[in-house]
Structure 1
């Protein structure tokens, strides 16, 4: 990490980091989107004006503001305006629907809710008002797609001075049917982004890309990296290949990625024209959030002609380990990389436990917080693994019953609970199966009723249609259905043996 980046990484708050970078390189771009560009100086100045506009609408330091916005320049401006105010913000990924959004609004007690209106055919404003009517204290709904509140910054109070107050609530499904509100501070997010930036050996000449939801924990993680090193990222509101390749080439993107699914997408495009590099400027694919088969690593290096570094993170700890470009091919292919300085990893009975500044403060639910940390303050990840002699982490499995599809955590129990209400389901086990494109795919194994009364055999289309009617988000829908006469169970409590199902259908 350069001396300048190291100094900026010591910022107490995200707003202090924005001001520090804007003072150093005000005219350099930070976000590129289509024909639009936003410089570091404009990020500071326009965020202050948006903060003033929000202040005049009643947003104050400590106000809880939920926002469900796509990956756009306006989304970043709103988020940093809230950081300037010292508000508590709770980002929601745009493809969440009534179940998840309603739960988050209720549990966070959000006083304001910013939405994009109708986006990709879905009426977010209608959903927001529908949910608001069900809440004891309805949030004020704000439109924030292409217009943002604007006012003179003279009305603003001083920016927040402490970076250790909880100002972020992110949501993760974990192993329960309801999401868990993860509590972060400015400092924990700065620490996570600093870890990522340090591992990737970046420079101010790089050009990054945001092909993932800005509302994901990776949003601030990645933006901190841009602020530390002073280089831009191309934003994709809707990412798809091959359509996005033109923007990659146009802006000379040097760093791309996201998760295993992104690696596979780039490989698929490269294989359509194997003699010509699809993005000549690309030097590094980087990501995490899902298992990475070693063969994917070797294929990327061989066919895309760039390096691949994969890491390990979660909503509770956005950056835990990361492969470095100068690691050996063996370590890059078979491990999750090494932890940065300041991240302690302890293996207890095979479980990975963590302690460090990037670790969250816990959950909205105090009982969940108490269960998540041991007596020495180590966070219990629920993941199994070991550390090699060289200090690299190898993950071998999960205690938690979570499916990680395209970098997003999916609760098997949530889907199972909903499917239990279907008349064609006697019992069900939802499992994750290895998938080269998605990391894991969602498979529902259904035990059918002993007597179906002549009903038609259950189909995957019928299952997904039913779950859609129940309000389940599209990204959680099963992609595989298996029908069995009886689920495998143990001899004592008759618990379903999911490992046997994974062995059978993998």
Structure 2
């Protein structure tokens, strides 16, 4: 991390961080979208005017403001306006609908709710009215505006809870995760430090700004003073023109994004898909080692992968100067200040980037151990040089005839098969075995259709123990994924195939 970035990382609040960056490089671009450019100075000035407009509407320090907005310049301006006021923000992923949105509004006790109006054919304003939301206002093309002279002093305390993020709801209600400005700055600093980025880099945000990765990435931009291209809607190959137009050097998001870029590269193997690209980086889902090797070999770029979650936006991150072995098989190392402890195989965490808990105190009590370490539910181990290797999820361990089987181990081997695009391994109830191993596979177009005998023969040849071999194979056109970082939703597969 450069001296300037290191000094900025000590900022007390997100507003303090923006103000200090804007004073250093006011005319440098920070956010790019289509033909629009927002500089660091303009982001600060527009956020102050928007904060004044919000203040005129009745938003005060500590007021809970929920927002469900796409990835746009206006969204970034609004979130920094709320940070300027010291309001409590509750970002909601724009793809969520009545159940999740209603739950978030009720649990957070939001007094205002910013929506995009009609977006991608869905009327968010009508949903807000249907849910009885308070203080509904649109924040898509236009934002509240006012005279900054009315504003109180910026917040000075960075350790108060000012963010309520929501874990992805699956079969149960999502959890409200409590963050502070300092926990978000700490997470973004970890990302910035690991990636060894430069002021002449151009980044990209192809994920929802309302995801925990939004502030994580924005903190990195503020620390290093370089811009990022925003994608309101991301799809390949359509988005490639914007990557090329702005000369993006750093892209990614999660494992699914790596696979999508690789698929585009394979259409024209001899022509670099994004000529300026030098690094793919992300996290949010397991990364098969073979995918790392394929990206480096076929795209001619580096790939660094990390480990984070809503509760801790950045835990570990691979660094471009790590060895290929570490980059392929580990999640990188933690930054200074992040303590990792392995207890009975489970990864536990303590440090400034860790959330303050949950809205529900009982969930907080259950999630933290007696020494203040967060129980992640992830299984892993630390290597001799401090790299973290994730081996699966506690709930992803398949217990077959009393033997524990790691789904991830089987998935990593399946990813090395040339006729497998993606794979998910799940345990299904079985009256004789307790659970049986089921492999659900996506295949590339034109590939010969796999059968259970061919899959098990391949896995045997790769050295997999016989008791871990799948006993059921399902082929699907596409694995079910969430709309944020496109994680595979295994609970849907369990529901589908448990009958």
Please give the range of the TM-score, normalised by the shorter of the 2 chains.
0.7 to 0.9
Return the offset for 1:399: 1.6
Partner of 1:26: 26
- The 4+ residue runs of structure 1 with deviation greater than 2 A are 173-176, 431-447, 473-485
Q: Which residue of 1 aligns with 2:17?
A: 17
Superposed displacement of residue 342, structure 1 = 0.7
Match of 1:424 in 2: none
Residue aligning to 2:217: 222
How far did 1:29 drift?
Answer: 0.3
2:13–2:157: 8 Å Cα contact kept in structure 1? yes
Question: Against the structure 1 CA distance between its residues 210 and 484, is the aligned structure 2 distance closer, same or farther, given a 3 Å change threshold?
Answer: closer
For 2:143, which of 131, 145, 148 is the aligned residue? 148
Aligned equivalents of 1:74 and 1:355: distance in 2? 34
Note if 1:370 corresponds to 2:365.
yes
Number of aligned pairs? 431
> CA 1:444 to 1:394, structure 2 compared with 1: closer, same or farther past 3 Å?
closer
Runs of 5+ unmatched residues, structure 2: 398-406, 431-474, 480-485
Gaps of 5+ in 1: 133-137, 403-430, 448-459, 465-472, 486-506
- Is the Cα–Cα contact under 8 Å of residues 332 and 387 in structure 2 kept in the other structure? yes
What is the aligned partner in structure 2 of residue 58 from structure 1?
58
Distance in 2 between the 1:169 and 1:251 partners? 33
Distance 1:474 1:21 in 2: 34
The DSSP-based 3-state class of the residue aligned with 1:239 is coil
The one of 275, 279, 298 equivalent to 1:284 is 279
Cα shift at 1:443:
7.9
Instruction: Report matched runs for 1:397-476 at 5 Å.
Output: 397-400=392-395, 434=411
Q: Does 1:117 align with 2:117?
A: yes
Taking the aligned partners of 1:222 and 1:362, their CA distance within structure 2 comes to 22
**Counterpart-to-counterpart distance in 2, 1:46 and 1:11:** 21
What is residue 455 of structure 2 aligned with on the other side? none
Deviation per CA, 1:52-104, whole angstroms, max 9, x where unpaired?
00000011000000000000000000000000000000000000111110000
Instruction: For CA contacts below 8 A with separation 6 or more, give which structure has more relative contact order.
Output: 1
- Please report the TM-score for the alignment, with normalisation by the length of structure 2: 0.82
d(CA) in 1 for partners of 2:422, 2:62: 38
Which residue in 1 is equivalent to 2:441?
none
Aligned to 1:410: none
Whether the aligned pair in 2 keeps the contact of 1:9 and 1:191 (CA below 8 Å) is yes
Matched, 1:391 2:367: no
Task: Rate the CA distance shift 1:480–1:351 in 2: closer, same or farther, 3 A.
Answer: closer
CA 1:479 to 1:236, structure 2 compared with 1: closer, same or farther past 3 Å?
farther
Deviation at 1:441, TM superposition (A): 5.8
Q: Name the residue aligned to 1:213.
A: 208
Matched, 1:237 2:250: no
Rounded to whole Å, the distance in 1 between the matches of 2:222 and 2:53 is 24
Q: Is the 8 A contact 2:54 2:144 kept in 1?
A: yes
TM-superposed deviation, 1:397? 1.2
| Residues 15-414 of structure 1 aligned to structure 2 (within 5 Å) | 15-132=15-132, 138-173=133-168, 177-400=172-395
Indicate if the aligned counterparts of 1:442 and 1:479 stay in contact, CA closer than 8 A.
no
Contact 2:116–2:139 under 8 Å retained in 1: yes
- Partner SS, residue 214 of structure 1: coil
Distance 1:440 1:216 in 2: 25
What is the rounded CA distance, in whole Å, between the counterparts of 2:96 and 2:260 in structure 1?
Answer: 23
Q: Quick one: distance in 1 between partners of 2:168 and 2:75? A: 23
Answer yes or no: is the 8 Å Cα contact 1:200–1:324 preserved in 2: yes
Query: For the residues of structure 2 that align with 1:59 and 1:438, how far apart are their CA atoms?
Result: 48
1:84–1:254 Cα change, 3 Å: same
- TM-score scaled to structure 1, two decimals? 0.81
Q: CA deviation at 1:253?
A: 0.5
Query: Aligned equivalents of 1:203 and 1:189: distance in 2?
Result: 21
Q: Take 2:337 and 2:115, find their aligned partners in 1: how far apart are those partners?
A: 37
The offset of 1:174, in angstroms, is: 6.8
- CA–CA separation in structure 2 for the residues paired with 1:480 and 1:348: 28
Q: 1:382 to 1:261 in 2, by over 3 A?
A: same
Alpha-carbon distance in structure 2 between the residues aligned to 1:130 and 1:359: 35
